[in-house]
Structure 1
């Protein structure tokens, strides 16, 4: 195994200079850094994580708290985090916060306090007061994606505004009989995102002078299958059918497209459908959506936590995440 001394001899510098050049800590000229990196590469030298941690007090590892590993949105945010961390030489440790309260307690009371991470990113998890206490006590940067927490740096999407934008798009196309696929109470957790999106939908209708009709709401579970079942309920009810559907997620919107096709409705000629998220299948299905750039959310969170580490300072002001209406072929003028 190649040692740091061999790299130093090959590059013609001291071992201390090699350490500074490869760790990024301390002043080293660009020419010297390039020479050291070239020597390390040619010799196949890899910095020892344990030695680097002992010398710097850093693990170069970020802990990520995530509620689901098998859902598209969370895996996409996670992919953005992992890519950004890798580019800057950091590893990632995942902590899956399930509905098991004992397992969740164990993560906050023990796993995170073993000081094996330099910081923590929480993806769309509403943290309780005791959990926030444990994170603050770590004395390390924490970034929370998805909702407000006055004690932590947060990256948030205005879900009311996002839903208003989607609904206003349908209204601008002349639709008045607009149905909404939202979420049933058991899925309305962690920042109440479905409730906020329903509020945005109803506010847009109110601004247009259109009364909210309970018959045009159908709950689902934020999956394609759930959206399929909900849309079949909405389109199969007796009486006037909706001319448009706003689904609170792209996966439910894709389910609605499939249901419309099975029932013989043409999209967008007979039915317009809009979703929220920016799902990777959206372009394939020609789905109009409000993209909230989940991959970019992950990258931004990773960059923010590493910037805090390098600056050795915490910032608690919330940061609004961007979103954009992407019009494709699933919506049309009535």
Structure 2
């Protein structure tokens, strides 16, 4: 007697029902599925992935494409996606495009991108695809559609594909408005340099939101109050040293385009003998795990939840057996988290004394 027959006998069902139950078919009642899973566990029976794939036409594997592996934010998004997939019984195959900021090679000429869309994805080893912070070109979108597999994008709108994204411009406005509400008018911005213009123009959108808020408040834009760096602690540190060392400007607050840059700004201010927030307020964006340690006020984008929500959207499409009938872009939530790195500007402290 084969193991699947033993499972069927112990659970009191047919072998066909065992197969359907362990494949997650909706035609099996919850009570029967529990009996089958209990029996399989007791007998140590594990479904052969190859056999299951042949029988169902599915691999129970999802491909995830992302451009960065050395970024806290994107790896945290990945963690949320992986946990959600594991809970649903899916494996994950990672495709790393290894895009380098400052690389002038067009997407269409990038050999790694061509290999991904013309070779790897055509092997059909995945049931669906999740694209994290990847702005797909027209030809790439067409190649994906020819796969007839569900696709969800995370990070920005993509034509004809279900996507989830944060409104980077609105997030930047919220961060700047927080500083304005505290009474700051000399607000500097540390954002991405031109060589770090990520997909979906994240640095530009955040700078636009910063400028929108200042303009709405009647504050003239000052080019010297904007400094560029990469989205890292060293990048934020160096940009802040240059900003605070420039005698032509005197910021009382800094809005950094990422939490890591904001942490670098706090460290630079302290090295220059300034107190945070007594002399300088600092706010960032992300919801970094180090934010609480540094007392950093931030706009939390809930990156782990982003990965989970993207997978949930993808699993719904897999379950329906087709792509979303009317793909659209869903804005993800974000929250202002106020900690001790922001306060009223120094003049207000003096006035209240």
TM-score (norm 2): 0.92
Per-residue deviation, 1:311: 1.5
Per-residue deviation, 1:101: 1.1
Q: Find the aligned partners of 1:115 and 1:4 in 2 and give their Cα distance.
A: 28
SS in 2 for 1:325: strand
- 133, 137, 153: which one pairs with 1:124? 133
Aligned CA distance change for structure 1 residues 58 and 331 (closer, same or farther; 3 Å): same
- 272, 295, 319: which one pairs with 1:286? 295
| Alpha-carbon displacement from aligned partner over 1:267-323 (angstroms, at most 9, x marks no partner) | 011100000111111111110011111101100010100011111232211111111
Per-residue deviation, 1:30: 3.0
Aligned-residue CA RMSD in angstroms? 1.3
Residue 22 of structure 1: aligned partner: 22
| Alpha-carbon displacement from aligned partner over 1:212-232 (angstroms, at most 9, x marks no partner) | 101111100000000000011
What is the correspondence of 1:1-334 to structure 2 with a 5 Å cutoff?
3-99=3-99, 101-315=110-324, 316-334=327-345
| Alpha-carbon displacement from aligned partner over 1:178-212 (angstroms, at most 9, x marks no partner) | 00001111101311100000000000000000011
* Uncovered stretches (5+) of structure 2, i.e. residues with no partner: 100-108, 346-353
SS in 2 for 1:191: helix
Question: For this pair of structures, how many residues does the alignment match?
Answer: 334
SS in 2 for 1:120: strand
Q: Find the aligned partners of 2:192 and 2:26 in 1 and give their Cα distance.
A: 52
* Uncovered stretches (5+) of structure 1, i.e. residues with no partner: none
Which is further off, 234-243 or 29-38?
A: 29-38
Per-residue deviation, 1:31: 2.9
- Could you list the structure 1 runs, at least 4 aligned residues long, displaced by more than 3 angstroms after superposition: none
Per-residue deviation, 1:26: 4.6
| Alpha-carbon displacement from aligned partner over 1:119-162 (angstroms, at most 9, x marks no partner) | 00011011111111111111011111111112211111111100
2:291–2:297 Cα contact (<8 Å) kept? yes
Q: Find the aligned partners of 1:177 and 1:230 in 2 and give their Cα distance.
A: 17
TM-score (norm 1): 0.97
2:224–2:249 Cα contact (<8 Å) kept? no
Per-residue deviation, 1:6: 2.1
